[in-house]
């Protein structure tokens, strides 16, 4: 059907400190079509950011990708040298971070930073032409008076404008895949809406695929068309976006959704918080990693002993792949 | 002000709370001297809070919401006179705080406490949790050492921490647990008013729920009044009885929760509300129907002369009266105040929720549910 933009197979990443081995990403596989908007949700420490960095080849020691294929545009980039990867990053796949300030150099003008992003991958580009392209990019991310504002420094921009510049830099070379790690978390809601609208245009006009990493399920609903719920380094539930709100099948997905204050549920009593803590990724339980906190499996030997495999289930809002021993039973229960 | 006879529930349900003000701001303004702006680095005054009048009633949770730079945290500090006001006054239980000297203010501070956003920065890393919670009792010379220790342990138990944990230092705790310590420290004095400045924004979603539930439980047990500062409208809607919306240091709108969230009258409230993503199916379609926010959040340094929201306002942008005159505060419905020349001209219809009636306050559905903590720690 649709052309694949990215295909990740059996990706595993560990942080080996000598004293302990933290399994940050555990055997994750997924496909991303062109123009697809995949939301990756989970709590801090679930491995969301480690996944992003692994795909981009940006994991730093003591971390390393121990296994897996990352096929981007038909080529496995996980085996490339740093130098070869440098030519791919920023050109075919790009990253936008939560804090735009960290992506921008405070002592260089906005214009020179965009020009640099362009000429790194296009050394022959003439200065004047690069500057014209930079101004176009600023216009594309809705910065008014773009020509004049090229000569400003980052501190002269507001937080929302800096994030849009970071996006302009990320899309400068028309990447196939854009990974956005909590891109709106530091922004106010109205600014957040503007950044999401900008990402919309990017997908529509350039057929970019987006992986949006967030802890905010509202943003997933507002922007994404598919979703992966991450827990303890694994995708425990993947589906089309509506499924997760209509029939969250993994007990963790359901718990995550329920603990968000939702005015529609005001009358239903206190927020059902998730008990306990996320597991220590250096000492994972042998069965399901959610079992110690799970309202369904907490007391079941099967859940503590045997790691669940993905089950394909079909609910009222489409299909899902769920790593839970009770997936079939649960989808019948939650989908009433 | 007449008693609301309309179906505005929270007040009607709690008549004893309805009319007793505990904290009032009257014409409160705050001006900071800011250096820069011109090449000589001269100081010039910037008005960050501009003539704010508000009443917080005993026993309620009063929300202060708005985007960064709207002045909500500065206002909170002025309400406790942690910052000096530039104009206006603050009444706490009828006493004008601005007239008190240091000792009088200190004595009164026992009754007003503050919980900060960042549980990492606000706890002394060298002190144990127990000592942190004991310290306010020491400062206010309450009880002897044994009684203070006992009170601190009981308070820690109330927030879900054990005597064994009381001996640990902050670094040994998770973010949520640290915020519990911050809460215990504020509540151990049995204050009457607690200002909660973004108390959950630094926490993970699952932990946010635990802390919100804890705050609600303590409020019920201790009969506290909360001023709850939040940039997250969903949280404010869940938690607060009444909410004030601030923009560039001015009050745009004040109303009961149900009135504000189902029938906001100020265009800024409308655009703020419709920008909040809701975790329900169909978000893409909902978002496509919403009006796009216009432009950037303004700045108090270049505050427009009329309505501060005029440059971004879908209703008033370019209208002469909005550009020239700051709108007076009117009260179109009992308890619902708005500062707008054209209140109610845009609505959130369809912009916010899908189908599910905008009238979230149906009957007694809006009363914050009874709280017992469900989280097994």
Residue-wise pLDDT tens digits, B173-208: 888 889 999 999 999 999 999 999 988 887 888 788
**Cα separations in angstroms, B39 against A156, A304, B35, B36:** 15, 67, 10, 7
Q: For residue B302, what is the enclosing H or E element?
A: none
Strands across the sheet containing B61-65: B112-115, B193-197, B225-230, B61-65, B242-247, B250-256, B336-339, B329-333
Cβ pair B34, B44 in contact under 8 A? yes
Q: For domain A4-224, give the CATH number.
A: 3.40.50.300
For chain B, what is the domain count? 1
Nearest Cα to Cα of residue B188 among B229, B228, B149 = B149
DSSP-assigned states of every residue in B312-375: G-TTTTT-HHHHHSPPPEEEEETTEEEE-SSTTSS--TTTSSSSS-S----GGGGSPPP-----
CA distance A278 to A44: 9
CA distance A80 to B319: 59
Say which residue the tokens 């906190």 belong to. A293
Interface predicted TM-score (ipTM)? 0.84
Residue A142: alpha-carbon gap to chain centroid: 24
Q: Would you say residue B340 lies in a domain?
A: yes
Q: Would you say residue B91 lies in a domain?
A: no
Give the sign of the dihedral formed by CA A43, CA A49, CA A55, CA A61: negative
**In chain B, which stretches have pLDDT less than 70?**
1-19, 36-41, 348-377
**In chain A, which stretches have pLDDT less than 50?**
1
Judged by CB atoms closer than 8 Å, whether chains meet at B281 and A317 is answered as: yes
Per-residue model confidence (pLDDT) at position A326: 96
Global confidence as pTM:
0.84
Per-residue model confidence (pLDDT) at position B49: 95
Q: Would you say residue B287 lies in a domain?
A: yes
Judged by CB atoms closer than 8 Å, whether chains meet at A222 and B290 is answered as: no
Interchain contact B47–A (C-beta under 8 A): no
Interchain contact B290–A (C-beta under 8 A): yes
Range of the domain at B322: 267-293+305-354
Half-sphere exposure of residue B69: CA atoms within 13 angstroms, side-chain side: 15
Judged by CB atoms closer than 8 Å, whether chains meet at A261 and B373 is answered as: no
SS3 call for A165: helix
Cβ pair B112, B80 in contact under 8 A? yes
Please report, for chain A, the start and end positions of each structural domain, with discontinuous segments joined by +: 4-224, 250-334
Give the closest of A218, A241, A264 to B276, CB-based.
A218
Per-residue model confidence (pLDDT) at position B364: 36
Give the closest of B208, B216, B286 to A270, CB-based.
B216
């Amino acid at each position: 059907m649709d052309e694949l933009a990215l295909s990740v197979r059996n990706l595993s990443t560990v942080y080996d400190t000598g004293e302990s081995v933290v399994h940050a990403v555990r055997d994750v596989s997924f496909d991303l079509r062109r123009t697809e908007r995949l939301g990756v949700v989970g709590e801090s420490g679930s491995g969301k950011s480690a996944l992003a960095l692994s795909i981009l080849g940006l994991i730093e020691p003591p971390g390393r990708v121990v296994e897996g294929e990352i096929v981007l545009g038909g080529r496995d980039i996980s085996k490339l040298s740093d130098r070869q990867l440098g030519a791919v990053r920023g050109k075919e796949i790009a990253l936008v971070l939560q804090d735009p300030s960290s992506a921008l150099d405070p002592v260089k003008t906005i214009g020179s930073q965009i020009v640099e992003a362009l000429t790194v991958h296009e050394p022959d580009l003439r200065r004047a032409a690069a500057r014209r392209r930079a101004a176009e990019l600023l216009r594309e991310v809705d910065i008014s008076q773009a020509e004049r504002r090229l000569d400003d420094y980052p501190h002269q921009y507001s937080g929302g404008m800096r994030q849009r510049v970071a996006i302009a830099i990320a899309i400068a070379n028309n990447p196939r895949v854009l990974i956005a790690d909590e891109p709106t978390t530091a922004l106010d809601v109205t600014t957040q809406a503007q950044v999401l609208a900008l990402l919309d245009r990017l997908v529509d006009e350039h057929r970019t695929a987006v992986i949006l990493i967030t802890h905010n399920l509202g943003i997933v609903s507002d922007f994404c068309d598919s979703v992966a719920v991450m827990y303890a380094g694994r995708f425990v539930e993947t589906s089309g976006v509506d499924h997760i709100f209509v029939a969250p099948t993994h007990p963790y997905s359901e718990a995550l959704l329920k603990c968000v204050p939702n005015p529609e549920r005001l009358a239903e009593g206190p927020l059902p918080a998730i008990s306990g803590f996320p597991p220590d990724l250096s000492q994972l339980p042998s069965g399901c990693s959610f079992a110690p906190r799970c309202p369904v499996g907490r007391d079941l030997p099967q859940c503590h002993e045997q790691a669940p495999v993905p089950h394909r289930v079909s609910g009222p809002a489409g299909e899902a792949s769920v790593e839970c021993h009770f997936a079939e039973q649960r989808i019948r229960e939650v989908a009433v | 002000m007449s008693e609301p006879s309309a179906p505005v529930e929270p007040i009607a349900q709690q008549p004893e709370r309805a009319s007793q003000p505990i904290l009032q701001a009257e014409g409160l303004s705050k001006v900071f001297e800011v250096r820069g702006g011109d090449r000589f680095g001269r100081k010039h005054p910037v008005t960050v809070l501009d003539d704010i009048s508000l009443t917080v009633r005993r026993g309620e949770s009063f929300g202060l919401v708005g985007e960064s730079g709207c002045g909500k945290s500065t206002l909170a500090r002025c309400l406790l006179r942690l910052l000096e006001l530039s104009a206006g006054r603050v009444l706490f239980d009828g006493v004008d705080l601005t007239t008190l000297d240091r000792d009088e203010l200190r004595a009164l501070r026992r009754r007003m406490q503050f919980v900060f956003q960042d549980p990492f920065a606000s706890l002394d890393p060298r002190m144990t949790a127990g000592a942190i919670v004991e310290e306010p009792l020491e400062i206010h010379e309450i009880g002897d050492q044994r009684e203070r220790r006992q009170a601190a342990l009981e308070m820690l138990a109330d927030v879900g921490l054990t005597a064994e944990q009381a001996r640990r230092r902050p670094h040994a705790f998770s973010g949520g647990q640290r915020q519990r310590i911050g809460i215990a420290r504020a509540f151990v004095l049995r204050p009457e008013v607690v200002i909660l400045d973004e108390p959950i924004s630094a926490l993970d979603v699952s932990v946010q729920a635990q802390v919100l539930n804890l705050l609600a439980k303590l409020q019920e047990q201790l009969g506290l009044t909360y001023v709850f500062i939040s940039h997250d409208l969903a949280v404010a809607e869940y938690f607060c009885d009444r909410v004030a919306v601030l923009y560039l240091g001015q009050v745009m709108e004040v109303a009961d929760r149900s009135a504000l969230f189902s029938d906001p009258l100020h265009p800024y409230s409308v655009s703020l509300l419709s920008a909040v993503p809701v975790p329900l199916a169909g978000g893409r379609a909902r978002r496509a129907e919403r009006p796009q926010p216009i432009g950037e959040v303004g700045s108090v340094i270049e505050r427009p002369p009329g309505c501060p929201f005029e440059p971004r306002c879908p209703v008033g942008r370019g209208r002469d009266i909005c550009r020239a005159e700051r709108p007076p505060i009117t009260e179109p419905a009992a308890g619902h105040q708005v500062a707008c020349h054209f209140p109610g001209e845009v609505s959130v219809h369809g912009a916010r929720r899908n189908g599910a009636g905008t009238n979230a306050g149906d009957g007694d559905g809006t009363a914050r549910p009874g709280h017992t903590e469900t989280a097994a720690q």
